[in-house]
Amino acid sequence: MVTLLRYGNVTMALTPAEKQAAYRERQRQKALGELPATPGACNIPATERWNAAIKQARSLLEQTREEMQAYLDDRSDEWQEGDRGVAHAEHIEEIETALDNLPEHVKYAPPKPI
């Protein structure tokens, strides 16, 4: 028996052995803490969750920008001035723009009483 899985435009055929191997790999990753915990019932107020998500997004974007800048800085001047270097610098600028447009936090305005 073969299971067909569809991801967008790609269809994958999985045998029972492949499904079992994938399950075991997910369990191994979960045990090593490589997978995020599955979300349970959320008891955190929405505004706090959103602010935490924004903080995490900002942190990831800053880390990505720093890594990309370090990669660019490690390349020769010739590479930096070439097509690839210029394209890479433009990607860094796009990340900086995203960071500039990312709000610091979500402001919550409680509903006004009637």
Tokens 């073969």 correspond to: 2
Q: Taking the complete model, does pTM exceed 0.75, yes or no? A: no
- pLDDT tens sequence for the chain (114 residues): 656 655 555 566 677 888 888 788 888 877 777 666 656 556 667 788 888 888 899 999 999 999 999 999 999 999 999 999 999 999 999 999 999 998 887 776 666 666
Helix (H) or strand (E) holding 106: none
Q: Check if the beta carbon of residue 42 is closer than 8 Å to that of residue 49.
A: yes
C-alpha triplet 96, 35, 66: angle, nearest 5°:
20
Cα distance between the two ends of the chain: 61
